[in-house]
Structure 1
């Protein structure tokens, strides 16, 4: 027997890090072949879903720089209605906490939380694999948030193998600019020929050997990002996540993270976070809702 569906859900949409990001080639369709290690953060956005009596989808607040129909939360809800023929509606409130354009996957995570949240709210029972497939049409990073486990990813980031990574404390610093992903991937100097490696080799090498192939290009194109790396030099090991703009420093303890965050906050938006191998979204939602 199916359990009753809720009328209201409040769910997290965690951020992510690319602990490693290699670009191994460029496809004929213009997309790049990647190898990456995804890990979640214990910091992120939050979404509230409330059932409506009609089939409309409402979203608040309105984000000035993103037209409503281009918002990934709205797209995810519409996609789910179209795929299932569902005639139920919802009001969604997005509490945006992650900086936009920071490389933390906020939009993709919001979309994944919307798919999982509405699957539960509307009692659809699609399961993770189908929801992940729907998510892939919205963005290459959406499936890892849907599946909810740290992962080794290949292809354009959609071929996922669950992994267990170390879970250090991080300080995430946003330099206050927006980095253009198309500009980074279109840059002539971007490394596009890193030899593919196996997942086992990547994990064996450990965090001290991991790098982001986008980092040197972003540092060259955006002096504001370079200044963060300069400031962190000698303070903590650091790496760009995704195509930026956020720079992430790794710390051995929460006390060290507190200290570095306090220093960094004098100059930039900075917050501490813990790396997670399981998405907190999947800890909030009931296991039988998520089971495929």
Structure 2
């Protein structure tokens, strides 16, 4: 990780667009992947020299208006648009509040109040901070359920457990990129990215795309060795008194085979955890 986070992001997003994506004609042999700097400058209505200084890290304090223009030119989605502003330091300061990894007793009690739904708390770097019993059962195939990114890329179980692994991998990296925009100097994030980069070529490839994605809601597809296929929908909720923490709750469609499998999974682990007489 370098300290030119804004420039790296702009270069990666520029490389992800083709001239035809933005209504431009692509003539001749192109020496660069994606759009040229000149083309981005034209689309954003700014001087190409100024845009070049942004990418090179020689200009680090663009105005919110400049960032808005770049967001439109690069066709950024809402998550990536917010990330752009965060990298440049124009996001509201309260969004940069450092979080704590302590999960309050009240939140733990709330999670335990959902015995039929896996529930857990993660921080910005996707460390699992707390789980309820069904979440423990769901992630039991892993050697250690400690960090969603490590589990996805470095645990051999991950590629079988996540039946749509490529999609899960992309989303996981997108979450970490968002974390890098919110808190780029976080030592835990640096440590995690270093480990993942050293041991996973797939992570390294995805990390260089600078794609950003926040965790809100989505469907996840699992293959659990004890109960088979599971399709669960999750909702993620920000923990207001601990900025950076999110409560994630999985649910199955009522009456579905996944709902039956989830009940069976809970029953299996409840029985196995009963003290012997």
Structure with more of its chain in helix, by fraction: 2
Specify the TM-score bucket, using the shorter chain as the normaliser: under 0.3
Q: Which has the higher contact order (CA 8 A, sep 6+)?
A: 1
Structure with more of its chain in strand, by fraction: 1
What TM-score comes out, normalization by structure 1 length? 0.26
